[in-house]
Structure 1
């Protein structure tokens, strides 16, 4: 999956939340990590309801679309955190997962969003690609 997307997804409100979430994520990731974790935990309390699978895909896609305008780094860490924050702005909840992604042959550190019980959202999960979570916030 690309870190950014040229496909415009989501409603107008989801796109606005995605832009705000991504911008906040970029700022938070410049601060010490404990501030980021604290903010994500607060955001999860604000977003009490879970997203549906289709709407979660739309929010993640909208964040990736918003990230394409950013001149700096817009990789998995920024876009996944932006999606979690965008969902919170919409009053919904996504899990933010940090870990590794195994694929034949590379192993890479990775960050992604996940719906509890549904697995990674907006991630390539074909045969041979596995996500192993080290930390879920």
Structure 2
């Protein structure tokens, strides 16, 4: 979990977004305990369920709501859990986000990372200024 995610504790979004964020995070925590092929299948199903892409500003609020809900759970809620939770929450709201797995490059550290993105707009809720670059290896 990056330092930006660790301090994002403000409650954002509408009530349906916060409810979908909590349910999406709960589903993500359950899916990430299964074999990865089942997780990929569920994300592909969720992408088909979402009719239209989520607006970038609403996607920011949804990811912040998922991060806030993650502070209420006594388990690990890092990048994989929050990004998958946001994708599933968007599907519950009838919208679509892409789930990306790859690497985040910066000046000193390079790390494996997972993030959600609005197609054509890049990573959502991520720190992309200051030399941080996200390179996806798998986009679902």
What is the total number of aligned residue pairs between the two structures? 137
Cα deviation, 1:93-117, whole Å, max 9, x if unaligned, reads 0000000000110000000000111
Q: CA deviation at 1:67?
A: 0.3
Q: Is contact 1:99–1:134 with CA below 8 Å preserved after alignment?
A: yes
The residue that corresponds to 1:131 in the other structure is 134
Structure 2: where are the runs of 5+ without partners? none
Distance 2:87 2:7 in 1: 16
**Is the aligned partner of 1:46 residue 2:49?**
yes
SS at match of 1:2: helix
Structure 1 match to 2:67: 64
TM-score normalised to structure 1 length = 0.98
Partners of 2:63 and 2:7 in 1: CA distance:
10
Residue-by-residue CA offset, 1:21-44 (whole Å, 9 max, x unaligned): 000000000000000000000000
Pairing 1:27–2:13 present: no
Question: Equivalent residues in 2 for 1:98-137 (5 A)?
Answer: 98-137=101-140
Q: Normalising by structure 2, what TM-score?
A: 0.95
Superposed displacement of residue 88, structure 1: 0.1
Q: CA RMSD in A?
A: 0.9
* Shift of residue 16, structure 1, vs aligned partner: 0.2
CA distance in 2, matches of 1:23, 1:129: 29
Any gaps of 5 or more consecutive residues in structure 1? none
How many angstroms apart in 2 are the aligned matches of 1:127 and 1:19? 31
Whether 1:15 and 2:18 are equivalent positions in the alignment is: yes
CA distance in 2, matches of 1:18, 1:2: 15
Equivalent residues of 1:4, 1:67 under 8 A apart: no
